[in-house]
Amino acid sequence: MDFYSKPGEYDAINYVPHTESHGTKELWRVFLILLGITILDFGIYFAMGPSGLRNVIFIFFGLVKAYFIVGAFMHMKNEKIALALIILVPVIFIIGLVMGLLYEGNALTMVK
């Protein structure tokens, strides 16, 4: 590292931004939300019979939980928008994969 940076100059390898605590209130709130959704999952599982709608609800709840985990626990909300975009935009490929297999997956039932 000494080879690359002089004192007082920006050091790309060892640079660490200054961070501050935002308190723990928000974190406990997110924990209660995640806990609540998991309990709701449990309740809906027994309240509703197996159906496509129930699956959609479960996947929607999964995405809501993902939003809170990534946004609050992983501090994505506090990151620069450029960083958020380079992580979130490639998720399009996952959506493409799901779409592709939902469409092509029909062929799997045909060969059986």
Partner 1 sequence: MANHSTEASYEQQPVWAGGRSPFNVSYGKLMMWLLLLSDAFTFSSLLVQYGAQRFSNVQSPVTTLWPEPAAIFNHFPFLHGLHLPLLFVSVMTFILIFSSVTMVLAVEAGHRKSKKEVVKYMVYTVLGGAAFLGCQAWEWSVFIHEGARLDGNTFGITAEGAAKFKTLHFGDHFEWESAWRTNGPVPFAALFFIVTGFHGFHVFTGVVANIVITIMAARGVFERRGHYEMIEKTGLYWHFVDLVWVFVFTFFYLI
90 to 68, 87, 95: CA distances (angstroms):
19, 6, 9
Distance CA 4, CA 13 (A): 9
Classify residue 80 by its DSSP letter: -
Question: Between 3 and 42, how does the x/- string for binding to partner 1 read (CB under 8 A)?
Answer: -----xxx-xxxxxxxxxxxxx--xx--x--xx--x--xx
Residue 70 contacts by C-beta under 8 Å, 6 or more apart in sequence?
Answer: 76
Least distance from partner 1 to the Cβ atom of residue 59, Å: 6
User: Which residue of 2, 3, 47, 90 would you call a contact of partner 1, by CB under 8 A?
Assistant: 90
91, containing H or E segment: helix 91-111
Q: Which positions lie near partner 1, rule CB under 8 A?
A: 8-10, 12-24, 27-28, 31, 34-35, 38, 41-42, 45-46, 55, 58-59, 61-62, 65-66, 69-70, 72-75, 79-80, 82-83, 86-87, 90-91, 93-94, 97-98, 101, 105, 108-109, 112
